[in-house]
Structure 1
């Protein structure tokens, strides 16, 4: 049964044609059993127009409405009183209100009052009828037309509402896909920054230690052995961090048991690793340490890590560095300075480290400056807000 209903809904012309044939059969039966003398042409013309209008009411609603008006004029001019075929008129009014443009719907509403008034004036010729009875008759004739128009207009409103819901759902789906793409691009950029920092820092430590071990392997085997141990530990640390990042890419939402991301608490370990790689570094902390959001803490760690990596790569063999953290009332100030080559340091032509630092700081509404110091060496200074949606105080 459901399949038949769906088949009929998909073929409105078939359904309307069936109703038109039923109306045609009943009207012909009425005409043949009670023929009107002398005006059969007008009667048959009105019948064809109205039955055709019922058949095409959803396909050509405007044309059908005009044809119905024409059928009414034919009936008035040919003196064809209301008959079975006029049951088509409320149906046409419903179709015009539901499917036709607004101007056609208003024209159909006007017909709801014009047609009964014209019929009463043309064929209601009993002078003894009281005014109240005339009003009642007018309401009885007008009621079905007005009810049909109200039902059709309600159908139009409901269809428009459903269409708006479908359009909104499609728009929300497109926006969701676009937001997912933006989020994926942001996540790729974040992971790219993380991978750059992990690889650049740890590989540079391993290269420095490997060079030292190569020089000391004959003259100082113990120092070479210690350097190799540092290389091994650094490599394991790099693999652990890369495994954590790749685990984020592979995760499907369940708990993967990943290692927590580094933050300010791990700066001492970073200092020890950097000193072990041969770069003297001092950490100074001023102010009252405040609890930082995970993202801010990670940004501080990565900025320090990248700045020290650049010092080790470009500062020269005798460079030393200082890391200064100052907790203020509204912001955390971070400064990394060294006494290396500064403006005379050779570059590698890449510059991704500084770009990554600026992106990290910009994510939290902070500022960053980096460049050679006037007194020599290099200076990286950043300020990260502590108050706001991304920070804690």
Structure 2
């Protein structure tokens, strides 16, 4: 970058900082700013009224008191230019009309551009028509009473000046509206982003709570069953008690490993979190074996299968968790002597899982308690599936899950 370009950039930045400070001062103390500008223009007009006005006046014999009065009438109303620009322009236009009719032709008449700018900046566009009606009489009066050359030489250039000032006000207004729209859009986007973050956090909390319920609830039920069986076996068959203790240790370690994997995804360093695969249908055998060891006899029938069209990993996890939750509930509520059956069937259009037990029909917990049935229904709904639960006519409980395949109609 050349020295000249660097100097231009530095000057531009200095001007921007100066304008920013001026706007900030105006925002903090608008009345003080208005008073300062009004007094400045009043001082300028009074300096002109001290004698300079005669250099351009067609009639230099106008009384000084009238010139001073008209000068103040063209400057002091500027204090209200932002709040009542049309009223200010009306007062100034009257003073300008007297100035033109008397032959003074005060230069302070050009201060009418200030309220014109504010009308274009803050008022509806039709207000500019009223402003034009106020600006024309002084110009026409001066052109008729004190002609200098052709009349349009006095009227047209001044009208063009007013028009350019109005266009400047419209441009500034459009820029302010555009900036305000961008700021509002950024604010709304920030609000939407915060809402999305909160919704994502709530969804993640729900997912983690569901996973923890499935993992901890099932494994604790299995451990409880094993512990009860081991306690009864300790007096009569120490070997069976040792097997129960070993199974408890194995189940506890598996539960702890799954819990660590689940909590690992909450770490800041996602790459370092454990990435063990989620359970699939192939893990059902180990699940059912653990339930059997806990004391609940389970008959497992895979039924018909479609190995060439396996379920997606997510759908397999859903089936696994539903079977796990149903067997966990059977462990908790079915009682002694109960048996369970797990039947899986696959077709070209859907996959079904039916879990039944022969224990007593235990009603679901009241609303707000427990996550089991709610979690199963939420999992099924994610894949457009359905879940049916209820008591059996002959006693016991059933859970029926239906998951349509993703490439088949729901």
Which TM bucket (shorter chain)? 0.7 to 0.9
CA shift for structure 1 position 125:
4.5
Q: How many pairs were matched up?
A: 380
Aligned to 1:211: 228
Give the conservation status (yes or no) of the 8 Å contact 1:244–1:259. yes
Give the conservation status (yes or no) of the 8 Å contact 1:117–1:138. no
User: Relative to structure 2, which stretch is displaced further, 309-318 or 30-39?
Assistant: 30-39
Aligned to 1:120: 140
User: Relative to structure 2, which stretch is displaced further, 277-286 or 166-175?
Assistant: 277-286
Task: Point out where structure 2 has 5 or more consecutive residues left out of the alignment.
Answer: 1-13, 55-59
TM-score normalised to structure 2 length: 0.81
SS of the residue 2:96 aligns to:
helix
Mapping of residues 192-271 of structure 1, within 5 Å: 192-251=209-268, 253-271=270-288
Aligned to 1:360: 379
CA shift for structure 1 position 39:
5.0
Aligned to 2:41: 23
Aligned to 1:74: 95
* Corresponding residue to 1:57 among 77, 81, 87: 81
Q: Specify whether residues 3 and 95 from structure 1 end up closer, same or farther in structure 2 by C-alpha distance, changes over 3 A only.
A: same
Q: Are 2:355 and 1:336 aligned?
A: yes
Q: Specify whether residues 178 and 347 from structure 1 end up closer, same or farther in structure 2 by C-alpha distance, changes over 3 A only.
A: closer
Give the conservation status (yes or no) of the 8 Å contact 2:392–2:398. yes
CA shift for structure 1 position 209:
0.9
Mapping of residues 1-393 of structure 1, within 5 Å: 4-12=18-26, 13=30, 19-33=37-51, 34=53, 36-58=60-82, 60=83, 62=84, 64-77=85-98, 79-80=101-102, 81-98=104-121, 100-102=122-124, 106-112=126-132, 114-116=134-136, 118-125=138-145, 134-135=151-152, 137-251=154-268, 253-281=270-298, 282-289=300-307, 290-338=309-357, 340-343=358-361, 345=362, 350-387=369-406
Partners of 1:87 and 1:335 lie apart in 2 by: 91
Give the conservation status (yes or no) of the 8 Å contact 1:201–1:306. yes
Partners of 2:371 and 2:88 lie apart in 1 by: 75
Deviating 4+ runs (over 6 angstroms):
346-349
User: Relative to structure 2, which stretch is displaced further, 5-14 or 370-379?
Assistant: 5-14
TM-score normalised to structure 1 length: 0.85
Give the conservation status (yes or no) of the 8 Å contact 1:45–1:71. no
CA shift for structure 1 position 22:
4.6
Task: Point out where structure 1 has 5 or more consecutive residues left out of the alignment.
Answer: none
User: Relative to structure 2, which stretch is displaced further, 370-379 or 252-261?
Assistant: 252-261
Partners of 2:404 and 2:155 lie apart in 1 by: 78
SS of the residue 1:10 aligns to:
helix
Partners of 2:158 and 2:106 lie apart in 1 by: 13
